[in-house]
Amino acid sequence: MKPRRIGIVGLGKIARDHHVASIAANPAFFLAGVASRHAQLPDTPNFVALEDMLTALPELDAVAICTPPQAHYEAARLALARGKHVLLEKPPCSSIAQLEELLQAATSAGRTQSAC
């Protein structure tokens, strides 16, 4: 089975310390790209915005959203609309209503949306 292609959105401390290392340590996953306004990861396609990454890498299976919490909702909405599975850092959204909307969008798209 081919590894799942993951994109990381936001390359801060949590992403660098946990997500990048976890993806690299598991052959079932491949870090296909990173979208971050303020950081880059060597030897990985880097993009300034999530939309740029999704356009350039349509083969992504999932995105891990590691941005500040206030940006989670819009990023998750966009990723789900593009047919990607979504992993959200906590807190997942600014409100329960936003989270419920994302869960409905994930269900409608046949994708998984999860918070860690």
| Cβ 70 vs Cβ 94: under 8 Å | yes
Residue 116 has a pLDDT of 67
Task: Tell me which of 3.40.640.10, 3.40.190.290, 3.40.190.150, 3.40.50.720 is the CATH number of domain 4-115.
Answer: 3.40.50.720
Percent composition of the chain: helix, strand, coil (DSSP 3-state, to 5): 40, 20, 35
Low-confidence spans in the chain with pLDDT less than 70: 116
pTM over 0.85: yes
Identify whether 2 is a catalytic site residue: no
**Sequence ranges of the domains in the chain:** 4-115
Show the tokens assigned to 49.
Answer: 């915005």
